[in-house]
Amino acid sequence: MLRPQEFCLPGDGDEVVALLARYGDSALILAGGTFVHGLEARGLLSEIEALIDLQKLGLGTVETGAEGLRAGATATAAALEQTPAVRTDPRLGALGDALVYLPVQIRNAATVGGCIAAACPFFDLPVAFIALDGAVDARGPGGTRTIALEEFFTGMFESSLLPGEFLVELRLPQTPARSASAFIKLETNANDLAIVNAAVRVTLDDGGACTDARVVLGGVGSTPVRSPAAERVLQGATFDQDVLREAGEAVAGDIEPLSDHRASGAYRKAVAQVLVHRALERARTRLI
């Protein structure tokens, strides 16, 4: 177990910035806390002296409206799940799908900001967020800046957050009306990180041709990975079984999955193709 010397409960963002300045690399921002042990087990927290708990910052809400979805960094997965649009809007289908996999104890504690900042390539929600063109606001000593999630993840447990910065908000922009998204995950049991996961989003025009597509995979590299090849297959196409299967197969050229004790790279590559195909089928059923 982590043995920090300090547990800080700052009341606002200015205090967090000051604490991060004081403790530097020896500070760990705490939101839900559900993956602290995971980072620690990987030897990433040996220097941590201070935990900075964000619960008093008032960042726990989720709002939806004409501009899309906004979630504070400490909004829990349960808060996302209870958001009506997440349950019913086909455009947010990938989010609803991804939330189903979390056990209730994790849903109640794990947060939007935590699952992003941890930069774990086997997490589910970030893959869904990228498929929905998500962006985060990071606050630091120089103010607040926006980072597209696609550019946020830079390596295994590494992100583009600078020293002294912390996440305050996630935004998912509204996608065009005739859009749908979906997410599927392969795991070994009900409380497991993904072996492979996939999120897709598609937008169709009035004639049923695809005008925009996102295909994103997790578990197949050191960060979530987009598949331009699969997206090219979908772009302009009318969805039939062949196109969806072809798009699934196309991801093989865009990924070089790692082998570990849970699955070989070759297995992950085979599974990724099937999951993308199935996720696309699921998204299509949401467009009918």
Partner 1 sequence: MKRLATIHVNGELHEVALEPGETLLQVLRGQLGLVGPKRGCDTGGCGACTVHVDGKAVYSCLTYALSVQGRAVTTVEGLAQNGTLDSLQEAFVTAGAVQCGYCTPGMIMSAKQLIDEEPDPDEERIRHAIAGNLCRCTGYTKIVEAITLAAASR
Q: By the criterion CB under 8 A, which residues form the site for partner 1?
A: 1-7, 9, 30, 33-34, 36-38, 41, 50-51, 53, 55, 78, 100, 103-106, 108-109, 190-191
Q: Are 196 and 272 in contact (CB under 8 A)?
A: yes
Of 54 and 116, CB closest to partner 1: 54
**Token digits for 271?**
């599974």
Smaller CB separation from partner 1, 87 or 178:
87
CB 103 → partner 1: shortest distance, Å? 3
Question: Which tokens belong to 141?
Answer: 């000593």
> Is residue 138 within 8 Å of 145, Cβ to Cβ?
yes
Least Cβ distance, residue 54 to partner 1 (angstroms): 10
Q: Provide the total of helices (H) and of strands (E) in the chain, helices listed first.
A: 12, 14
Please, which residue, 88 or 105, has the CB nearer to partner 1?
105
Residue 187 beta carbon to partner 1: minimum distance, rounded to whole angstroms: 11
Per-residue tokens: 199: 């999120």
198 φ, ψ (degrees, to nearest 5): -145, 135
Looking at the Cβ atoms of 3 and 207, the one nearer to partner 1 is 3
Smallest gap from residue 81 Cβ to partner 1 (A): 12
Strand partners, 180: 202
Closest separation between CB of residue 223 and partner 1, Å?
23
Torsion of CA 108, 172, 9, 141, to 10 degrees: 160
Q: Name the residue nearer to partner 1 (CB basis): 13 or 33.
A: 33
Q: Half-sphere exposure (CA, 13 Å, Cβ side) for 275?
A: 29
Place of tokens 């049923």: 208
- 245 close to 234: Cβ distance less than 8 angstroms: no
- According to DSSP, residue 238 is labeled B
**Nearest distance, CB of residue 8 and partner 1, angstroms:** 9
CB 185 within 8 A of CB 101: yes
Task: Indicate the residue among 78 and 258 with the shorter CB distance to partner 1.
Answer: 78
